Amino acid sequence: MHVDSSFEGSLRRVHPEDRERVRRVLEDAIARCSVFTVEHRVIRGDGRMRTFRSHGDVVVDDDGRPVRLIGVVQDVTEVRLVKEALQSTSSELERRAIELQQLALRATSEPSPAPRAPLNARQLEILQLIAQGLTAAAIAERLVVTEETVKWHVKQILAKTGAANRTEAVVRVLRAPSSTGASD
């Protein structure tokens, strides 16, 4: 088959890094008189780059010789960008899941530090309510105390357990039954 100037003109718009691969796909389709699909980048006249998917077939004459290519060219730039974003997000989520698994394994394999001082019954009660996800205001309402009283107890709990925050205190105290001894 003779390649005319429109074929060469089309190839000139293909990104230089993709041009040879596109040429090989098309030449292979012509040699085999078969269908082809190829995804490639194109540089538009305004300089913007787009991603196209070309799908077509080779038309042959009565003797079975290729005479032309017919097909469809679809701009798949947005689809490609969404696919890349999803892959990136998926990779990031997988990385974070692995980190969380490692942290969970480390947390369960390391012994919980015992509280520096035993918690009293009220502090244990507050810690259990914190573990249920209640806020200081909700705990104060449930225990019929002021929110400031709850906050004072939380500070005491953090000091006694050596925890940096409420969640860490819950994990340190309520996870290990031997460290939940209450005293008044």
Residue boundaries of the structural domains of the chain = 5-75, 114-179
- CATH code of 114-179, in short, is 1.10.10.10
Reported pTM:
0.47
* Whole-number Å distance between alpha carbons of 5 and 10: 8
Fold observed for domain 5-75: Beta-Lactamase (3.30.450)
Q: Could you report the per-residue pLDDT of 24-70, keeping only the tens digit for each? A: 999 999 999 999 999 999 988 888 899 999 999 999 999 999 999 89
Q: Could you report the per-residue pLDDT of 162-171, keeping only the tens digit for each? A: 889 998 888 8
Confidence band of 1 (pLDDT split at 50, 70, 90): very low
| Beta carbons of 161 and 170 less than 8 angstroms apart | no
Of 116, 89, 88, 95, nearest in space to 172 by CA: 116
